Amino acid sequence: MDVPFRVRRAAEVDLQDILEIEGVSFSDPWPQSFFVNLFNDTSWVVEFRGHVIAYLFGRVAADEAEVLNLAVHADHRRRGVAGSILEAALAGFYAVGGRIVYLEVRAANEEAQAFYRKFGFEEQGRRARYYDRPPEDAVIMTRRIGPQKGPK
pLDDT in tens, 28-37: 889 899 898 8
Q: Which CATH number fits domain 6-144: 3.60.15.10, 3.60.110.10, 3.40.630.30, 3.40.50.1000?
A: 3.40.630.30
Confidence (pLDDT) at 2: 54
- Output the pTM of the full model: 0.89
pLDDT digits (tens, 9 = 90+) for 105-116: 999 999 999 999
Q: Which residues of 23-34 are buried (b: 16+ CB within 10 A; e: fewer)?
A: eebeeebbeeee
Would you kindly state where each structural domain of the chain is located, as residue ranges?
6-144
User: Average of pLDDT values for 4-16?
Assistant: 93
